[in-house]
Structure 1
Amino acid sequence: MSTNTPKAQKVMKRRRSSPCENFSSKKNFGDIDCVDGNDGINDRDNNGSTEGDDDAQAQILLLENAIFESKKNYNNIAILIKALDSDDKVNKNLSVVIISLCRIFSKLMISGNLTKRHASSEKEAVVNKWLKEQYSKYKKKLIFFLGKGYSRTTILALCMQLLRIEGQYLRVGEKYTFPTAFLMLILQTILSNQCDKIIRDQFCQEFIQKYTDIRYYTLEAIAKLVCTEMKYEYKAQNFDNYLQLLASIESPPKSTEELEKFYLPKPNTSIHTLYSVSQHKKRAQSAWLSLMQLEMSKKQRKSILKLMSTSIAPWFTKPELLMDFLIDSYDTGGSISLLALSGVFYLIQERNLDYPQFYNKLYSLLDAGILHSKHRSKFFRLLNIFLGSTHLPVVLVASFIKKLSRLTLNSPPSGIVAVIPWIYNLLKKHPQCTFMIHREIRDPHMKEMVEKEGMNDPFLSSEQDPMKTNAIDSCLWEIVMLQSHYHPNVATLAKIISEQFTKQSYNIEDFLDHSYNSMFEAEICKEVKKAPVVEYEIPTNIFTGSVIEYDSKSNLLKELWNFS
């Protein structure tokens, strides 16, 4: 509204300040407009402001001011709420009405007019009940606009401002209460398909990550929403929205000292659950478990497994509750099993999870695609941990060594250079496996027969049980084959198995992240000491004379082109 009009000047002088004043800090209310349903409240062009708009906005402010002056004018609230029923996207006064009502209800809550008093008369009780009904209608309208697209950023800020005032001034006695019902409505909207990622990011960055109480009750609300709404109205996109919001929440607090910043006034008692780190973790644990119990796609399951060690497991006070989800994922096979590996092993190592088929399942992951997988590096890091114990049976370790050696015959160079140092390290840790590279036939008759006819490899590559593959009776002839590999780096690296094991171990990290591109870049960056011989004599013509003269009568190439 332009403050140059007489009506507006009169209203602005008499209007009192309120907690929502910051949402109308612009000098001209006419500068705020709800022009587009997607973009929301935008700056209006000065030329677009008309005298009719100024009069309408001035009338809104007059209605607001009259409410502050006398309770007799409370019916103006119903008039303003009625104005919100307009579904006209070019309603230039809609934003003014929304902000005006925010100021009105903020003032009423602060003054105690929305709180029922014990000594109030019957008439006051009726008025109080009516005001609560109007406030409820206004909140529903805000939620409607938040979902529909009317300046979502501003509407979210207004909702959170009302949430704060409601929690502070609508308490019953001195007991700490949080307006969870209103927060539930806000979350239900921003987690639906109606809202975009920007609003969820804003809510997380400006409220969840900053304020202890908002994070606590948001996690509590998500668990309830998942259990009620999504089980009956399941949508894949909704699942992604819940996952996005939960994943954006930072790691759990380590001590109560990190639970000091509150959006609403702090609880009076220090034993409130808001000050308990374990209670925060329990809320997050319930939210994640509720989400994991829903049906999900392969892509969604992968997303959760990727977050397991960084964003999920740290929140769990009882990590063993993840057992069913992780084992189901581990038994799925393929890339999902690879992603579930670290979580399953964590439960085995830290929580004494009984999973006797762990190494059998791990062995089954060694297929033709493992060295081509984009998760290859992560897999080898975990495999290095899983087989690092010297208490493992030699037969088991030998099966892993032999199986990976066999897979290198059909693998890219980048995969082979990761396998060879890994085998070297395992042979150093398990010296009994070195028989696989130093096996000699001592029987002269058998040796003669092998030299003439060859022999069958006793290794059973199709056997699923690593304890029954006969790998310990085999030899690593595959590594010897790699010593003749076309790539010089692979051939050179493969020779370390045939030499004395003087090196204690190789740093596996130096070999994991190679690719065709990195290996090519490494080659072309090398300084060439001597130019390679390509031609004995540098030719001056594309074709030699003898080629041109050959079949010259029918040589169409010679007729069309001159090669001299």
Structure 2
Amino acid sequence: MSGTTSASLAGVKRKRDPSKPERRGSKSKSRRKSPSEDGDDGDDGNDVQAHIVQLEAQILESRRHYNNIATLLKLANQPEAENEGPILAAVALCRVFSRLLVAGDMVKSKGMGEAEEVIVSWLKERYRELLDVLLDNFLRSEQPPKQSVALTLVMRLVKEESQARKDFNIKNGPLSRLIQVLLSLPVDDINREEFAEKYFKQFDDIRYYTFQTIKDLLDSELDITTRQLVAANSMSLLSTLGQVPKSKADIQNFYIEPQAKSPIPSLQAYKEKAQAAWLATMRAGLSKEQRKSILSTFSYQIAPWFQQPEILSDFLTDSYNVGGATSLLALSGLYYLISEKNLDYPSFYLKLYSLLDEGLLHSKHRSRFFRLLDTFMSSTHLPAVLVASFIKRLSRLALHGPPAGVVVVIPWVYNMFKLHPVCTFMMHREIRDPAFQEELEEEGMDDPFDMEELDPMVTDAIESSVWELEALQEHYHPNVATLAKIISEQFTKRSYNLEDFLDHSYTALLDVELNRDLKKEPEVEFEIPKHIYTAEEGPGLNPLGQLLTQVIEAR
């Protein structure tokens, strides 16, 4: 319906009063000057603002000026405006429709005349146009002011509409459409962060309907590129959530005040929505980095939202079998299911042993792995041959590891010897047969440990020794050499706190050495020669000069 028709229905048609003189100059005076005419952009901006304020005031004054709504929509829909006109027009329209919603002027009622129904329908159509401008033009524009204003205005309209209409359904309202647009924006878009900080993390009902929208959108027909984009944005949005409610009493913070009953029926329904959103996101296809991101926060941020976390056991075991950093990150999730949900995974230690490879001590997830490994190996019911294999393999890897990784292995081995005394044979085993002892002293022996064996139960590590740790006592780094000597001393210390060694790095170790207070000056083990090529005494060349001469002659 056109604006002219609606205005006539509202009785807006006006006639000139013949008793009043004609205002010939009114049209020219009311015409706004362009910046090129007066050369002042600031005045033009003030004219636009004054014009918008006037249009808004007229709308709120009388129905006869409802046509101003179409004018404001036209101003707000200007694609490349150099002033703040579109933003000011959108804000004015938001205030107008907020008052119309509160006054009930946008709701059809019984006994309403045909003309009134036409006006209500026209207002609803203009309201939908405003939402189109905010969601399609403002929120998708490249101008941050427009984007921020759009998010704020749409959320305000959500609240006003929910309070004004008894039949309001949030799923079919502007909130669901807003979330869909936010999920379809580029990955680095800041509007999603603003939505998460102001609404998604603050209000339970916004979270509840966001969960539902994510699932519905990912279950719909989307092309591969769009589905991957929506999945990535959904994961970043869901990952912003921290604490998980533990009871219905924790679900009390609502953006939309419930009129009769709570919009969230129960804690179980709340978690089911979150679980469905996470599952839809995971099934949409994850990249390697996204999988790592989920695994790194699974046990404390994702699993508590699931009613049955066991349904993710396949996802975790598949990730565990990938190898490398992905397997290291999957450890905590699997341990959570084994310890909390009684997941049966018989080959857990077999797979854990396979993770002890050459890249472990160089990995950026080294600290995380050793924290988990310390937990996994803390049980005193583990077979001694299994524990010995882990001790031996890590000791062998320490020979080629960086100092920051070696200083973690040594105290961990010490703790394992204290926790599993049977394995101390690997440090000291007496030979009772004199003939065999003499043979060993003369010929030595091959290390019975099989480094290539994948099964830790048959590596024969318990028959070997930790000669690698004794070799580390001659390490080039003084901290490593000193720490390795604890294996040769009495085990008077109950255990080491592994946390004191996990966060070491090359920089930290170097800073310790550079900032160490020297009790005496270091000894210089050579004399600085007075001559480089010639002999110190008498004519002729020194060995270096003679060597250089031979090289020159050979060429």
**Is TM (by shorter chain) over 0.5?**
yes
Task: Measure, in 1, the Cα distance between the counterparts of 2:422 and 2:141.
Answer: 69
Which position in structure 2 is the counterpart of 1:157? 152
| Mapping for residues 412-423 of structure 1, pairs under 5 Å | 412-423=402-413
Mapped contact 2:184–2:226 kept (Cα < 8 A): no
Partner of 2:401: 411
Query: Which position in structure 1 is the counterpart of 2:444?
Result: 454
CA contact (8 A) 2:77 2:86 kept: no
Q: 1:535 to 1:547 in 2, by over 3 A?
A: farther
Paired amino acid for 2:117 = A
Q: Deviations along 1:473-495, whole A, 9 cap, x unmatched?
A: 22222122222222233223222
**1:324 pairs with 314, 321, 332, which one?**
314
Q: Which amino acid aligns with 1:447?
A: Q
Query: What is aligned with 1:12?
Result: none
Question: 1:338-360: per-residue Cα shift (whole Å, max 9, x none)?
Answer: 11111110100100011111111
The Cα shift of 1:128 comes to: 2.5
Per-residue CA deviation, residues 86-106 of structure 1 (Å, 9 max, x unaligned), is 323326532232122212221
Alignment-mate amino acid for residue 150 of structure 2: I
Offset, 1:178: 2.5
Query: Please, what TM-score do these two structures have when normalized by structure 1?
Result: 0.81
Residue 36 of structure 2 corresponds to residue 49 of structure 1:
no
Instruction: Report whether the alignment pairs 1:390 with 2:380.
Output: yes
Q: CA shift at 1:262, angstroms?
A: 2.3
Aligned residue among 332, 353, 378 for 2:343: 353
Q: Structure 1, residues 110-145: CA drift from partner, whole Å, max 9, x if none?
A: 111222323333443333233222211211111011
One-letter amino acid of the counterpart of residue 420, structure 1 = I
The range that moved more, 365-374 or 432-441, is: 432-441
Match of residue 288 from structure 2: 298
Aligned to 2:82: 90
The yes-or-no answer on 1:130 pairing with 2:122 is: yes
Change in Cα spacing, 1:474 to 1:230, as seen in structure 2 (3 Å) is farther
* Alignment pair present for 1:100 and 2:92: yes
- Select 1:146's aligned residue among 127, 139, 147: 139
Q: Secondary structure at the match of 1:546?
A: coil
Instruction: Tell me by how many angstroms 1:418 deviates.
Output: 1.0
Label 1:420 to 1:536 Cα distance change in 2 as closer, same or farther (>3 A): closer
Does residue 519 in structure 1 map to residue 509 in structure 2? yes
Note the alpha carbon deviations across 1:295-327, whole angstroms, 9 max, x for none: 122112112222223422232232223322222
Determine which of 476, 491, 507 is the counterpart of 2:466. Answer: 476
Q: Distance in 1 between matches of 2:497 and 2:382?
A: 21
The Cα of 1:336 is off from its aligned counterpart by 0.8
| Residue 372 (structure 1) aligned to one of 356, 362, 367 | 362
**Which deviates the most, 307-316 or 54-63?**
54-63
Q: 2:486 aligns with which of 484, 496, 499?
A: 496
Residue 251 of structure 2 corresponds to residue 259 of structure 1: yes
Which residue of structure 2 lines up, in the alignment, with residue 4 of structure 1? none
1:148 is paired with a residue of what secondary structure?
Answer: coil
Tell me, in whole angstroms, the C-alpha distance in 2 between the residues paired with 1:475 and 1:62: 91
Q: Is the 8 A contact 1:167 1:179 kept in 2?
A: no
Q: Which runs of 5+ in 2 are unaligned?
A: 1-34, 549-555
Q: State the TM-score, normalizing by the size of structure 2.
A: 0.82
Distance change in 2, residues 1:118/1:416 (3 Å)? same
User: Which residue in 2 is equivalent to 1:187?
Assistant: 179
Aligned residue number for residue 301 of structure 2: 311
- CA shift, 1:376, in A, is 0.9
Asked if structure 1 preserves the Cα contact closer than 8 Å seen for 2:535 and 2:541, the reply is: no
How many residues end up aligned between the 2 structures? 505
Q: 1:246 aligns with which of 238, 258, 263?
A: 238
How far apart are residue 196 of structure 1 and its match?
Answer: 4.8
Kindly indicate whether residue 215 of structure 2 is the aligned counterpart of residue 220 of structure 1.
no
Give the conservation status (yes or no) of the 8 Å contact 1:360–1:466.
yes
Secondary structure at the aligned position of 2:363 is classed as coil
Give the corresponding residue for 1:20.
none
The one-character-per-residue Cα deviations of 1:481-533 (angstroms, maximum 9, x if unpaired) are 22222223322322222333222211111222222222222223332222222
- Say if 1:354 and 1:401 are closer, same or farther in 2 by CA, change over 3 A: same
- Secondary structure of 1:49 counterpart: helix
Aligned-partner Cα distance in 1 for 2:538–2:104: 105
Cα distance in structure 2, aligned partners of 1:505 and 1:282: 44
Query: Structure 2: how far apart are the matches of 1:221 and 1:438?
Result: 65
State whether residues 57 and 96 of structure 1, in contact with CA within 8 Å, keep that contact through their aligned partners in structure 2: yes
Amino acid at match of 1:504: R
| Deviation per residue, 1:191-231 (Å, 9 max, x gap) | 33358543222212222222232222222222222332656
Work out whether 1:166 is the aligned partner of 2:161.
Answer: yes
- The letter of the residue matching 1:165 is E
Comparing 417-426 with 489-498, greater Cα deviation is found at: 489-498
What CA distance in whole angstroms lies between the structure 2 residues aligned with 1:215 and 1:541?
Answer: 80
Which region of structure 1 is more displaced relative to structure 2, 357-366 or 441-450?
A: 441-450
Q: What is the SS of the residue equivalent to 1:514? A: coil
Runs of 5+ consecutive residues of structure 1 not aligned to the other structure: 1-34, 36-45, 558-564
Q: Which amino acid aligns with 1:146?
A: L
For the 8 Å contact 2:415–2:496, the answer to whether it is kept is: yes
Corresponding residue for residue 27 of structure 2: none
Structure 1 contact 147–195 (Cα < 8 Å) conserved: no
Distance 1:197 1:229 in 2: 23
Q: Structure 1 460/160 Cα, relative in aligned 2: closer, same or farther at 3 Å?
A: same
How far off its partner does 1:379 sit? 0.8
TM superposition shift of 1:543: 8.7
Q: How many Å apart are 1:59 and its aligned residue?
A: 4.7
Q: How far apart are residue 536 of structure 1 and its match?
A: 7.5
- How many percent identity over aligned positions? 48
| 2:103 counterpart residue number | 111
Offset at residue 469 of structure 1 (A): 1.3
